[in-house]
Structure 1
Amino acid sequence: MSRRGWSAQERGGLSPFNSGLGDGRGGVPEVTDEDYSYITSEDLERSSHYSRSGGGGGPALVIDDDDILLIKHKGVTYPEHFPAFSIGDGKLLVGDVRERVQMIMKLSDRSTRKIRLLYKGRQLKNDLDPICEFNVKNNSEILVVLPEPSDDDSSSESSEEVVVVGREAESRPKKQKKKKSKGKKSKSRGGSPRESNLEIPSGGGPIDKLNTISSHFTTKLLPLCVQFTASPPTDPKKREDEHRKLSETIMQQVLLKLDEVETNGEEEARARRKELVRTVQDVLNRLDSQVNS
């Protein structure tokens, strides 16, 4: 017996070099028309329909749509793709989103550690948490707040940078800034929500700081929200733009400031902050309903 297989005799005498096919004299086999099958246009059409309908021996190729997060920063939206079902399955972590923000915005490692990720007023803090724990879904919007180089400066300068106050406005005296904002109110729908800045006093306890934030929200931002929900712009683009400005300003000037207040373990301060967050979140939900309706 050969090492590579069976001998010709054991296989019934059939060998590729000694075939019994043909005329029996080892010549070329005779080929006739009956040995061919012809494909008609009808066969081609049937085959095309067969492959489109997904029938046959193999499963049809199905390409799953990616999960998408709309990462927003200063009015710019970045639609970022992630593996399909990674959000709902709990595989996409807060740290993954943070790394993606670093990549698309070309941030240093230090700046990346300081960025704040917000979803509907809630801050996504722990990098090991799946984002689905914050009710983030496919096509959800994630707001990104980046630290500015002036974060170590005074609190008023820092807050001006966060809300993107223009350089011209920063260089003018405060009295002139107030006059300009009054003039703008007569030309627009109650003025821009970013014109009003929030300064939290460095002294005082947590309750005092929370009350300052609450007063700023109630007197400066809430009237603009009420006006928007009562009479939103009819133009879809203007409506979306105004909704974005209001939402981002509330998150930056109210929700983030509430998060920065140290309650020092005071139960009253914790309850007060929780109440304010819930109130602000209700207002944001009403703003969202005007855009989504």
Structure 2
Amino acid sequence: MRRFFGRPQGLSEEAYIVTEREVHKGPLISGVENPDPDRSDDYVMVKHGTKEYMVSYPVGAITSGIVTVGAVRDQCVGLTGVEPERVSLSCGGKILREDAAPLSSLGIGHAARILCVASKATSTSPTGSEPAVIVDSLDSATPSKSKKKRSKKKTRPASPLPPSPAPSPQPEIKKLLLTPFQQIEAVWEGIIANLHPLVNDFLQNPPADADKRADAHRSLTETMMGELLKLDSVETGEPEVRARRKEVVKQIQATLDSLDAILKPT
């Protein structure tokens, strides 16, 4: 089996003004370099797990620097239902940390692909604890005398609240099926964001204990094999798709060779 694979294998924010310092000088890391001026909208593709979503914005919102990392993170919070601090975004192997940074200042343009990783928090409330409940004196079955006296007082009418501002229009979110090329890129971006940090940590600081080192090696190797299986299931009828899959498989092969080298006796 290892031989077969070559190795076991939003606009709700205020407009953000882009200063000269923030203008991206280099090539785009993801997106379209010269988007069609007659396009109907700007959008980014957000990949989360096995699903991919198209998040659309008005034309020019991404390329002009209005859409920020924070705006995309807010959309991912709505998609995943977890807290913003537990949403990790990356694009082209680059982690997107600064919420105030416009996408365009990071080399991310119209039609870019962004990987979203969201982890859910575990409950930390002590077992058996109950939330505090505030009971209104008028709702008590046996109110005290002081409460009875207070209940006889004339209630002042509440001050009228200012009208709530109209909600900002939310971008349209569509679920799309991935093309073969996009499936390959999704596997590679997942490896870059999730596996490479673990692999690098293992290569730089392998456990001193032989058993723990072997267990860590086995876990990482099996995970990489799973990614190779995903690549094997991709239909590669087009030459460019076959070439891209071959390139990603070669990168995974090199990573597995590096992992194996740690276990070899010196």
TM range (shorter): 0.3 to 0.5
User: Larger % of helix: which?
Assistant: 1
Which protein has the larger Cα radius of gyration, Structure 1 or Structure 2? 1
Between 1 and 2, higher relative CO (CA 8 Å, sep ≥ 6) is seen in 2
